[in-house]
Structure 1
């Protein structure tokens, strides 16, 4: 029995996101080592180009606790792994990544689903 080719499925997901989604930027902050001379901890922001399709959550999912009114659901290209705390700039607006759910059957990332909250 041959194994299913999830890499091809990931490529299809990427192609569909590029066609129906929009280019966006994922910003990730990394904290460096404390510098005793300046008394500061440097923060570096890395910007990663990606593609996403973003939708409002259906009303039935908004519970006021985990998913708030105004939260958005993003389906993201598997080439860039979003992390909780990242900021997604999509169509000129910044959104905080609240939660990330990888869609990765057999360990191959096909798509990332992220919960976004406006800043």
Structure 2
């Protein structure tokens, strides 16, 4: 039985995001040391992404709110996996990631990261 090559799907997703998307960043905030204190450290990772507004039929006011964005982030060249607590900069605004799916169909290779971003949630 042959195995499916998810890196090919990842490359296709990247090409589409690169063609129709924009440059953005994923920011991760590392909290200060609990013993020594200090300032939080913000690290920005360049990303290629496509932000899209949710269709009205999906907005329920609780899980998905007006203004939330569904953001497709290319996994190619991104050294981190975007996760809840990170902040995505797209369309000139900061969106806090409140939900996400790495789309690892084989459990290893992320084809594309799809996250739910909420504006006004910048922690950086």
Q: Secondary structure at the match of 2:102?
A: strand
1:70 aligns with 2:67: yes
Whether the 8 Å CA contact 1:35–1:41 is kept in 2: the answer is no
Tell which structure's C-alpha radius of gyration is larger: 1
Greater strand percent: which structure?
1
Structure 2 CA distance for aligned equivalents of residues 110 and 74 of structure 1:
14
Moved segments of 4+, more than 6 Å: none
Aligned to 2:114: 113
> By how many angstroms is 1:35 displaced?
4.8
Aligned to 1:6: 6
Q: Secondary structure at the match of 1:53?
A: strand
Whether the 8 Å CA contact 1:28–1:45 is kept in 2: the answer is yes
Over the aligned positions, Cα root-mean-square deviation in angstroms equals 1.3
TM-score, normalization by structure 1? 0.90
Q: Secondary structure at the match of 1:18?
A: helix
Alignment of 1:47-66 (within 5 A): 47-66=44-63
Aligned to 1:26: 26
- Give the aligned length: 116
Structure 1 CA distance for aligned equivalents of residues 97 and 55 of structure 2:
18
